[in-house]
Amino acid sequence: MRERLDKVLAHLGLGSRKEIARLARAGMIAIDGQIIRDVSHKFDPSASRIEIDGEHVIYQTYFHLLLNKPAGYVTSTKDHDGAPITELIPEEHYRDDWMPVGRLDKDTEGLLLLTTDGMLAHRLTHPRWKVAKRYYAELEEPASQEDINAFAAGMELQDEKLQPAELEICQDQRKVELVIREGRYHQVKRMFEARGNRVLYLKRVKFGPLELGSLGTGEAKELSAAEALALYTEVGLKADIPDELN
Could you tell me the smallest distance in angstroms from the CB atom of residue 133 to ligand URA? 7
Provide, rounded to whole angstroms, the least separation between the CB of residue 75 and ligand URA: 8
- The residue among 39 and 180 lying less far from ligand URA, judged by its C-beta, is 180
Tabulate helix, strand, coil % of the chain (nearest 5).
Answer: 25, 30, 45
Residues recorded for the chain: 246
CA 105 to chain centre: 15
What span, in angstroms and rounded, lies between the C-alpha atoms of 62 and 239?
Answer: 10
12 φ/ψ angles, rounded to the nearest 5 degrees:
-80, 0
Residue among 7 and 181 whose Cβ is closer to ligand URA:
181
The string over 71-88, giving b where at least 16 C-beta atoms fall within 10 Å of a residue's C-beta and e elsewhere, is bebbbeeeeeeeebbbeb
* In 26-138, alpha helices (H): 118-125
Q: How far is the CB of 228 from ligand URA (least distance, A)?
A: 23
Question: Does residue 147 contact residue 167 with C-beta atoms inside 8 Å?
Answer: yes
Asked if residue 199 lies in contact with residue 192, where contact means CB atoms within 8 angstroms, the answer is yes
Q: Which of 105, 107, 117, 172 is catalytic?
A: 105
Is 210 in a helix, a strand, or coil? strand
Whether the CB-CB separation of 144 and 207 falls below 8 Å is answered with no
Provide, rounded to whole angstroms, the least separation between the CB of residue 187 and ligand URA: 4
Q: What residues contact residue 121 under an 8 Å CB cut-off, 6+ apart?
A: 99, 101, 115
Q: Which is nearer to ligand URA, 27 or 127 (CB)?
A: 127
| Least distance in angstroms from the C-beta of 143 to ligand URA | 15
- Residue 71 φ then ψ, to 5°: -65, 155
Binding residues for ligand URA, rule: CB under 6 A, are 104-105, 108, 186-189, 202
Q: Count CB atoms within 10 A of the CB of residue 177.
A: 16
- 105 flagged as catalytic: yes
C-beta closer to ligand URA: residue 123 or 204: 204
Looking at the Cβ atoms of 189 and 195, the one nearer to ligand URA is 189
Active-site annotation, residues: 105
